[in-house]
């Protein structure tokens, strides 16, 4: 920021954040994660002064919270995937939902396409229903539909440990989506 004249606003300050995450600066990532909730509580946005020594800040017109966290969890450069490249170990476990579930989901054309849920311990799973009356839940190992019930706008179903389930739209199962390259 010292190199930018005071009467000019950089068009995007997110490059510094993304660059440090791509260099696997895990301590910096941990500080960014601590900053985000604090700033949301203070003013509802990320424009407040950064509470630690940092060259870049997350502000209007820059990296969105989702973009920053996504870079911490997964990066794809060329044809190489980097998994948890900038996740600070002190932050704790990542991408494991409460109840011991691992979730993989995809959005297509602005709508949830499907969710694959792996139950690690066999707990009841509850998911806000993205498909309304067209929802189906399948146990993927047997490719069989399983029964579920709804509580308000939530789909609930019992799971078995180490089994995977697809929550999907009846007319558009996860296998119907073409692989995007």
Tell me, letter by letter, the H, E, C secondary structure of the chain.
Answer: CCCCCCCCCCCCCHHHHHHHHHCCCHHHHHHHHHHHHHHHHHHCCCCCCCCCCCCCCCCCCCCCHHHHHHHHHEEEECCEEEECCCCCHHHCCCCCECCCEEEEEEEECCEEEEEEEEECCCCCEEEECCCHHHEEEEECCCCEECCCEEECCEEEECCCCCEEEEEEECCECHHHCCCCC
pLDDT along the chain (181 residues), means of 10: 44 61 76 60 40 43 61 76 76 72 85 91 92 94 96 94 95 86 67
CATH class of the domain whose range is 101-173: mainly beta
pLDDT at position 57? 43
Residue 144 forms beta bridges with which residues? 139
95, two tokens: 């991408």
What's the rounded Cα separation, in Å, for the pair 23 and 115?
31
Indicate left, alpha or beta for 180 from its phi (over 0: left) and psi (-120 to 50: alpha): beta
pLDDT at position 66? 63
Delimit the domains of the chain by residue range: 14-89, 101-173
Q: Give the Cβ contact number of residue 127 at 10 Å.
A: 22
pLDDT at position 35? 67
Residue 138 forms beta bridges with which residues? 145, 166
What's the rounded Cα separation, in Å, for the pair 38 and 170?
41
Cα torsion angle, 84, 36, 106, 138, sign? positive
The structure's pTM equals 0.59
Q: Residue for token digits 């997350």?
A: 58
């Amino acid at each position: 920021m010292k190199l930018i004249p005071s009467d000019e606003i950089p068009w995007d300050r997110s490059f510094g954040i993304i660059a440090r995450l791509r260099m696997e600066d895990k301590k910096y990532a941990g500080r960014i994660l601590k900053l985000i909730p604090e700033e949301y509580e203070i003013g509802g946005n990320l424009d407040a002064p950064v509470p630690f020594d940092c060259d870049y800040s997350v502000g209007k017109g820059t990296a969105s919270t989702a973009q920053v966290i996504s870079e911490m969890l997964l990066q794809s450069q060329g044809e190489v995937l980097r998994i948890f490249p900038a996740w600070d170990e002190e932050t704790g476990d990542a991408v494991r939902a409460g109840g011991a579930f691992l979730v993989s989901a995809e959005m297509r054309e602005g709508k949830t396409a499907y969710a694959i849920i792996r139950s690690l311990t066999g707990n009841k799973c509850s998911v806000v229903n993205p498909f309304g009356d067209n929802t189906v839940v399948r146990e993927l190992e047997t490719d069989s539909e399983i029964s579920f019930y709804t509580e308000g706008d939530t789909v609930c179903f019992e799971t078995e440990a180490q089994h995977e389930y697809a929550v999907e739209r009846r007319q558009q199962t996860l296998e119907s989506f073409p692989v995007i390259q």
